[in-house]
Chain A
Amino acid sequence: MSLVHAHDIRKRYVDGPVPVEVLRSVSLTVEEGDIVGICGASGSGKSTLLHLLGGLDRATAGEVFFDGLPLSHRTDEELAHLRNRSIGFVFQFYHLLTECTALENVMLPCLIAGVNRGEATTRATEVLVEMGLSDRAGHHPALLSGGEQQRVAIARAIVMRPRLLLADEPTRNLDRATGESVWTLLTDLSERHRMTMVVVSHNRDLLRTLPRVLELKDGRLDAEAA
């Protein structure tokens, strides 16, 4: 059974007199352990597709299935639980809480899951060591470089060992070398932990390293464009 399956999903935004249809009849199947890249021009709906796959937003029509169960039938509480336990997000802008240290940021999903503070600290520390950030654990995001912030964000995304990792332009804000390093880290982690990953990027050079790449164009996931 596929881990994620999007069936004929559409997304329309109504902002002003003319509705904007961002996604038109998008279907996608991602098997457990797959690494799928999605490319497309700015405004093509890549991030919107990722949000729908992760249950952050609801489709105007169509259905997204996670582990065979439709997301539209789940309550907000159930979706929150799914995001906490089974889905990790990595964003272009890192989205770290500036009031928290790197360690605390990584602990957050554990604390939200009800893990006690001691256990959460242990888990977060292990992941930060895996990311090579053990010496940065006590630093606040403002004191970290872009690459380090993104690695903290990745650590936060995988600390609960999710089944699906969704990465939205994870290298866009980074210089070339750092971007490549983060990209390698993501793909390595995905393979090492057998984590399914859907990654959106505009960088075709990086996407070429992935076994499967899809292109989103005019709101449709047209064809594989590796």
Chain B
Amino acid sequence: MSSATAFLARRLFSVRGMRSSQRVMFLVAVVGMTLAVATLFVALSLARGFEHAYRQSLLGFHAHVVLLAQGEVSDATSMLAALPERVHGLTEATPFLYREGLFIGKGSIKGVVLKGIDLQDPSWRERFRVSGNSKGEGVILGKAVFPGVDVGETVKLLIPKQHAGQSPFLDLAVAGTFSSGLYDSDSQFALIDLEQLRKLFGDPSDVITGIELFLDDPERAQSVAVSLEEWLPPTLRPVTWQELNAELFEAIRLEKTVLAIIMGMLVLVAALNIIAVVTVVIHARTREMAILSTLGISRRQRMKLLMRLGFTPGLWGTLLGLSLGIVVAFLLTRTSIIPIDPEVYLLDRLLLDLSPLLCGIIGVFSLGVTCLVAAVASQKLVSLPIIEGLRQAR
């Protein structure tokens, strides 16, 4: 900005130099922009936080690529041995078996999916956030299967097929509980040692439902799945975590888009206040603008002056709005001001993603809208008649 416009902006359009009614309008414009930007920031942080949390929880509980059997497969030993060579970036490959059963415990009955995995492998403890001292004996229940169940307690499992003379009810000790962060998983799954599960259900010693693959970069899941498709036998089909949860992520993406549009409109409406501020202040400065015209101020310089006048409340509103948004988001993550029902939202706590990138995008958007609105207002007001202004100056 040239020294003339900067100097004149300071002298003519400083908030201090405004009349009280203009100051109130200026304040309203700043407050409006602040609230709109803060709302946009919190809403998008919330949407991103949910997306991030879902993703983390899903990636913790579910594998990045699942080699899913059409029915079930036996003797996957050679395939498991060959996988590290076939899949670049593979961190873990583990067979699993799904079985369904009814658990009776804590005075209630729950239909549960029993997931048989190799509990000798220590990595599962961290992945499933298991509490309890289990080394793999007994069953590890999702924390929402029987809320309040203690480690060491016994629950009954009703299995649909049993050996001759065997009771359909089996007593299983609760070896621990796990928390995946997803209510669906925590309320519908139980972990059990793979061998034990086969024995319980009388399955052959090598039967599995599929093989779970964990990668160093989950985003490579799709390319890994494609590369495995030709190599795998027809009985196995690779499915990525994105495909398994496509509907959920599509819903989140839609929610984010709708939120961005609606909250973006709020910013636009708040920015429209700026037109009112610029109009009122400029009409109060018709005399000064006319005098400056006699001194030879150009249209371009007048535009710069008006743009600066319009941009100032937008800049203040954006900076204050982002600051307020960060504070509100921080409070929401640290306190339980807004309790959420895990049965509805699948998650047990409010999560916000306070990303500097999001701050930047919202800041640029808000200032862009402000510039646009200020430019429109300035364009309309830049051609005030000089003679009329000089008459007012008497």
Using CB atoms and an 8 Å cutoff, list the residues of chain A in contact with chain B: 51, 54, 56-57, 76-77, 80-85, 89, 91, 93, 95-97, 99-100, 104, 108-109, 111-114, 116-117, 156
Quick check: A113 and B296 within 8 Å, CB to CB? yes
A109 CA / B298 CA spacing, docked (Å): 11
User: Which residue of B3, B293, B301, B390 contacts A91 across the interface (Cβ within 8 Å)?
Assistant: B390
**What residues of chain A lie closer than 8 Å to B299, measured between beta carbons?**
76-77, 80
A51-B387, A104-B7 known, 6 other contacts, Cβ within 8 Å = A76-B298, A80-B299, A111-B2, A112-B296, A112-B297, A112-B298
The answer for the CA separation of A80 and B386 in the assembled complex, in Å, is: 11
CB-based contact B295/A83 at 8 Å: yes
B contact residues around A96 at 8 Å (CB): 291
Set of chain A residues within 8 Å of B301, measured between Cβ atoms: 112
State how many residues of chain B have any CB contact under 8 Å with chain A: 26
The verdict on A93 contacting B394 (CB below 8 Å), with A56-B294, A81-B298 known, is: yes
**With A80-B299, A83-B294, A111-B4 known to touch, is A57 a contact of B386 (CB < 8 Å)?**
yes
- A-B contact count, CB below 8 Å? 77
22 CB < 8 A contacts A-B: A51-B387, A54-B294, A56-B293, A57-B386, A77-B300, A80-B297, A80-B299, A84-B295, A84-B296, A95-B287, A95-B390, A96-B291, A99-B12, A100-B11, A108-B4, A111-B8, A112-B292, A112-B295, A112-B301, A113-B296, A114-B2, A116-B3
Q: Is the CB of A156 within 8 A of B295?
A: yes
Cα of A6 to Cα of B359 in the assembled complex, Å = 60
* Chain A residues within 8 Å of B11, by CB: 97, 99-100, 104
Cβ A109 vs Cβ B296 within 8 A: yes
Interface string of B277-305 (1 = CB under 8 A from A): 00000000001100111111111110000
Determine how close the nearest CB of chain B comes to the CB of A51; give it in whole angstroms. Answer: 6
With contacts A51-B387, A57-B386, A93-B394 taken as known, whether A111 is within 8 angstroms of B7 at the C-beta atoms is yes
Rounded to whole angstroms, the CA-CA distance of A116 and B7 in the bound complex is 11
Q: Is B17 an interface residue (CB 8 A)?
A: yes
Given A93-B394, A111-B4, residue A99 in contact with residue B298 (CB < 8 A) = no
A80 touching B7, Cβ below 8 Å: no
Chain B, 286-344, CB within 8 A of any chain A CB: 287-288, 291-301
